[in-house]
């Protein structure tokens, strides 16, 4: 694998361009059978290192420039809640193993290792600054011994605790990045996002932002408020976002934990890779330079970030060997109806129609239309003799319509038949029903496609 950027630290990489983060580990490893949902502690780092390394490796292959140690909730006070029933491993054992796992894989692809710390039960139990900092210090000592590249303080819900953590982390001499798990209403003590950002930067974090609990749309709106406050104070930390990979548009301070499907039935809310393209582009446009994901972000979501920003980064992720964006892989499908060059995307209030043609550098015409103009039935594919065939295929970014940040890079995919993509954005908010279509509707739509193929 080509290793670029090796030897460069986080700040150097951020100064040069965009840094792609990794995805969510704790929920992914719960699904794979290595994490106990409920406590969500990371003893798998010591107990099942191969499983943890495999997930690191998938993120690395997908384009992650940073691998975070799998040490979420691994302070001693968290592990011993209820009398050490959760984990047979100590905080030191877990943190030490997690550093080795991340380093081994990071070195395979020139990635950085971030030692990850998070909130401690001691904080909300009211035990005070000295106790909380002692918990964090234990983990930091292990990170320093293992020579992690920087410290990532994440998933703090109170900015006061975050300040204590940053203060302690800065003492290691390592760069500190800091992301809070808050939405537009601010932290659990009702400190506004802007104030949280300013306080994190003043505490010494060189990278400031948000992770977890909310979907990309909410995270980016919250990030906008943070950026405005930082600008107003003349503070210029790098910005970072690692949202969740679930659509949760209407949730409040609890974030995704307030969804009726949380945590074991979230699948119907998962972002598509196309949603992630939109997120990556929007984050980049607003100046975020450290772009990754948290719970629900799988390797293919990370790959979508790396592919969306491939031009800016000057490289494609290794996993793109097996994936061409925008359906281009379908060129090799043996099913006629999937070898498509007709492409439709509905996004919010905009419905884009793409058609391979001889016009334009990429041979694609796109025409935004209001959703109301969406055809009730799928259009027939063009007759075979009228099917355009363009060679070589060229990816071709189109100017987005106003308010539309989806980059469209459709290549000619050979023979024309049909491909329809419906990309569902945020729908009705809170307590919404599952986003899965009801079986009757699904059956009707499938029948329409079937009729069209047979016609
Ligand atoms: Zn998360």
Convert the pLDDT of each residue in 75-111 to its tens digit.
999 998 866 666 789 999 999 999 999 999 999 999 9
Architecture per CATH, domain 10-322, reads as: Alpha-Beta Barrel (3.20)
Ligand 1 center from residue 69 Cα (angstroms)? 14
For residue 445, the CA-to-ligand 1 centroid distance in Å is 35
Q: Based on C-alpha coordinates, what's the Rg of the chain?
A: 23
Question: How many angstroms is it from 283 CA to the middle of ligand 1?
Answer: 18
CB 72 within 8 A of CB 40: yes
Between the CA of 120 and the centroid of ligand 1 the distance, in Å, is 15
Q: Are strands 342-347 and 350-356 parallel, antiparallel or unpaired?
A: antiparallel
Contacts of 229 (CB under 8 A, 6+ apart): 192, 193, 194, 195, 197, 198
Name the burial class of residue 137, with classes exposed (0-12), middle (13-18) and buried (19+) by CB atoms within 10 angstroms of its CB.
middle
Of 249-253, 262-266, 358-362, the range with the lowest mean pLDDT is 358-362
Distance in angstroms between the alpha carbons of the first and the last residue of the chain: 47
436 Cα–ligand 1 center, Å: 23
Centre of ligand 1 from the C-alpha of residue 262, in Å: 12
pLDDT in tens, 311-354: 899 999 999 988 876 555 655 665 544 443 334 333 333 334 44
* CA 254 / ligand 1 centre spacing (Å): 12
Q: Which residues surround ligand 1, an ion (CB under 5 A)?
A: 212, 294-295
Residue 120, classified by CB atoms within 10 Å of its CB into exposed (0-12), middle (13-18) or buried (19+), is buried
- How far apart are the CA of 253 and the centre of ligand 1, in A? 14
**Ligand 1 centroid vs 148 CA: distance in angstroms?**
21
Q: How far does the centroid of ligand 1 lie from the alpha carbon of residue 244, in Å?
A: 6
What's the CA-to-centroid distance between 309 and ligand 1, angstroms? Answer: 23
Q: What is the pLDDT of residue 328?
A: 57
Mean pLDDT, residues 132-142: 97
Return the SS3 of 362: coil
77 CA to centre of own chain: 29
The more confidently predicted of residues 39 and 450 is 39
| Spacing, Cα 27 to ligand 1 middle (Å) | 8
Longest dimension (CA), the chain: 76
**Cα 72 to ligand 1 centroid, rounded to whole Å:** 9
Under DSSP, is residue 211 helix (H, G, I), strand (E, B) or coil? Answer: strand
- Assess contact for 223 and 286: CB atoms under 8 A: yes
Residue 414, Cβ density class (10 Å: 0-12 exposed, 13-18 middle, ≥19 buried): buried
Ligand 1 centre distance from Cα of residue 329 (Å): 31
Distance 294 CA to ligand 1 centre (A): 4
pLDDT tens digits for range 139-192: 999 999 999 999 999 999 999 999 999 999 999 999 999 999 999 999 999 999
Domain ranges in the chain are 10-322, 328-454
CB 28 within 8 A of CB 298: yes
Ligand 1 centre to CA of 257 (Å) is: 10
Decide: 137 and 168 in contact? Cβ < 8 Å: yes
CA 366–ligand 1 middle distance (angstroms): 36
Strand residues in 249-396 grouped as ranges (E): 290-291, 342-347, 350-356, 364-370
pTM for the whole structure: 0.78
From ligand 1's centre to the CA of 311, what distance in Å? 28
Contact 94, 43 (CB under 8 A): yes
Residue 84 is predicted with a pLDDT of 61
Residue found under tokens 């029933």:
85
């Amino acid at each position: 694998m080509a290793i670029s950027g090796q030897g460069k630290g986080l700040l150097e990489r951020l100064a040069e361009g965009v840094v792609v983060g990794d995805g969510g580990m704790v929920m992914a490893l719960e699904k794979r059978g290595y994490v106990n949902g409920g406590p969500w502690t990371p003893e798998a780092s010591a107990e099942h290192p191969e499983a943890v390394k495999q997930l690191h490796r998938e993120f690395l292959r997908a384009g992650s420039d940073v691998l975070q140690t799998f040490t979420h909730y691994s302070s001693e006070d968290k592990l011993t809640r209820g009398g050490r029933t959760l984990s047979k491993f100590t905080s030191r054992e877990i943190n030490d193993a997690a550093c080795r796992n991340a380093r081994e894989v990071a070195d395979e692809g020139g990635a950085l290792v971030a030692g990850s710390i998070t909130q401690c039960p001691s904080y909300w139990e009211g035990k005070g600054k000295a106790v909380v900092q002692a918990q964090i210090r234990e983990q930091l000592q292990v990170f320093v011994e293992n020579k992690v590249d920087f410290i990532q303080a994440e998933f703090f819900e109170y900015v006061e605790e975050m300040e204590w953590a940053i203060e302690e982390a800065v003492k290691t001499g390592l760069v500190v990045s800091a992301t809070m798990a808050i939405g537009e209403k601010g932290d659990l003590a009702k400190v506004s996002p802007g104030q949280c950002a300013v306080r994190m930067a003043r505490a010494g974090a060189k990278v400031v932002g948000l992770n977890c609990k909310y979907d990309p749309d909410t995270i980016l709106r919250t990030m906008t408020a943070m950026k405005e406050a930082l600008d107003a104070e003349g503070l210029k930390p790098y910005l970072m976002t690692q949202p969740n990979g679930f659509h949760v548009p209407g949730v409040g301070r609890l974030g995704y934990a307030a969804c009726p499907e949380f945590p074991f039935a979230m699948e119907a809310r998962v972002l598509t890779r196309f949603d992630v393209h939109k997120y990556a582009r929007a984050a980049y446009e607003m100046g975020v330079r450290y772009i990754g994901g948290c719970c629900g972000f799988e390797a293919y979501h990370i790959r979508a970030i790396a592919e969306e920003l491939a031009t800016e980064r000057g490289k494609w992720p290794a996993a793109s060997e097996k994936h061409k964006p925008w359906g281009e892989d379908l060129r090799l499908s043996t099913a006629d109806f999937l070898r498509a060059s007709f492409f439709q995307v509905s996004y919010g209030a905009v419905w884009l129609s793409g058609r391979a043609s001889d016009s334009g550098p990429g041979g694609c015409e796109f025409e935004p239309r209001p959703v109301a103009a969406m055809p009730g039935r799928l259009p027939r594919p063009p007759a075979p003799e009228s099917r355009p065939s363009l060679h070589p295929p060229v990816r071709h970014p189109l100017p987005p319509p106003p308010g539309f940040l989806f980059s469209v890079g459709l290549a000619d995919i050979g023979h024309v038949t049909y491909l329809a993509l419906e990309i569902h954005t945020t729908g009705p908010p809170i307590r919404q029903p599952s986003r899965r279509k009801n079986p009757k509707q699904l059956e009707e739509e499938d029948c329409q496609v079937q009729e069209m193929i047979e016609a």
